[in-house]
Amino acid sequence: MMRRCICRIVCSRAVLSFLTTSVIQANLLNDANRKPHIGENRLTFGVATVRAGIIVIVEGNKIMRPKSCTTDSTWAGTEQILGHCGNDRGQMALTKIDLRNKVAVVTGGGRGIGRAIALRLANAGAKVAVIARTENEIAETSRLIQQAGGHARPLAGDVTNADAMSSVFSVIERTLGYVSILVNDAGIIGPIAPFWETSIEEWWRVLDVNLRGAALCSHLVLPGMVTRQHGRIINLISGGAAFSLAYFSGYIASKAALARFSEVLAAETKPHGISVFALAPATVRTAMSEHSLNSPDGKKWIPWFARIFDEGLTVPVERVAEFAAQLSSGVADALSGRFLSVTDDLELLLNNVAEIDQENLYSLRVRKLPSAVASTKFDAIRKGAEQAG
């Protein structure tokens, strides 16, 4: 059954208008005869006239290109979109969030995405511990939370320093209570250049912050979560973890590792009532993305990155915060361990959990030739993993 949907059209320097007399059938880019995956249902769309720019047609935040589209626009195979179809603000209305009597920790909470998440969790009633290295930034985040009537505690520290973090989390439990929610957002981009031209110390620093920092903080909160049989951990990753992005080797390696770590941790903690999520925020205009955009190395090695900003394809930071808040609420615990993006339609995913589990969707996997799959069915590691699952 086909449904009509208000398409989101993203276009730079163009006047857009829907032609009510023209309708096209949107087919998938690949084999039109195959069964569509979740979010790839065929729909009837209105045609938009575009003078310049790109057309992005979204259903469930999966991007499709109509085969019969006759416009001269350039198709961009990007997942950096602004929100749900038919929702200009790109905000979710999945469930009202109540985090009263919960203690949340947000690393990297001094600015950008981390600050937005901290503010949203506090707005939902959580007591929020804000961690980052820069004292004045976490103080400002806490001030904003308290100004809005929330409860916050700024705590300066380096997430890669085990002793410092042990002290910080002791203070949190002593002053706020046991940690129910951990959001690992602290991260850095690192070198933007061919691997062999980077400083290996700077390269390893990226993994130290992005991966070790998240693992260390998780290691500190998990014993208490296991004891209480309750908790949620959200690891901020990157959509780039799922594909190759040249000149970001340290960053991509760290985020891919964090995504897989999240999946394994979810499997280990599931019997203890704990959920772990890997969440990709898409491209948000922050100090980090501005650095990638404007630094000499960024301009030299990734000039294409500017297009995301020029075409208006960034995601509002509030959307990331709202998605993280939904995950923190427990409404999406059935998706624990999955590789999620803020461009996903969370409600759609929750309505199709059985298919996601059966097909093992939203995860990092090696795709093999059909003829090669049979030869691996007796693989010892694969068999053991299936039995463990």
251 given a catalytic annotation: yes
The beta strand positions in 35-146, using DSSP E, are: 43-49, 57-59, 62-64, 103-107, 127-132
pLDDT at 9: 38
Q: Give me the domains of the chain, ranges plus CATH numbers.
A: 1-77 (no CATH), 103-359 (3.40.50.720)
Q: What is the pLDDT at residue 92?
A: 52
Backbone angles phi, psi at 25, to 5 degrees: -95, 120
Q: Is the pLDDT of residue 117 over 70?
A: yes
Rounded to two decimals, what is the model's pTM?
0.74
Gap between the terminal Cα atoms of the chain:
35
Report, as an integer, the average pLDDT of 191-195. 93
* Average pLDDT rounded to a whole number, residues 188-195: 93
Of 229-238, 342-351, 363-372, which gets the smallest average pLDDT?
363-372
Of 206-215, 238-247, 252-261, 289-298, the one with minimum mean pLDDT is 289-298
The CA distances from residue 321 to 74, 118, 192, 236, in Å, are: 31, 8, 27, 11
- Give tens-digit pLDDT for 125-166: 999 999 999 999 999 999 999 999 999 999 999 999 999 999
In tens, the pLDDT along 345-357 reads: 999 999 999 999 9
- Backbone CA torsion sign across 65, 67, 71, 73: positive
* Residue linked to tokens 């991966």: 211
Q: Quote the percentage of the chain above a pLDDT of 90.
A: 57
Q: What is the secondary structure of 188-199 as a DSSP string?
A: -----S-GGGS-
Question: DSSP letter at 102?
Answer: -
Share of the chain above pLDDT 70, in %: 71
Q: Which of 178, 247, 251, 362 is catalytic?
A: 251
> Length of the chain, please?
389
**What pLDDT score was predicted for residue 303?**
84
Position 171 scores a pLDDT of 98
Beta strands 62-64 and 43-49: pairing type? unpaired
Within 208-344, where are the H helices? Answer: 213-228, 249-269, 287-294, 296-301, 305-310, 317-329
CA distance linking residue 232 with residue 99, whole number of Å: 12
Ramachandran bin of 125, using left for φ above 0, alpha for ψ from -120 to 50, beta for the remaining angles: left
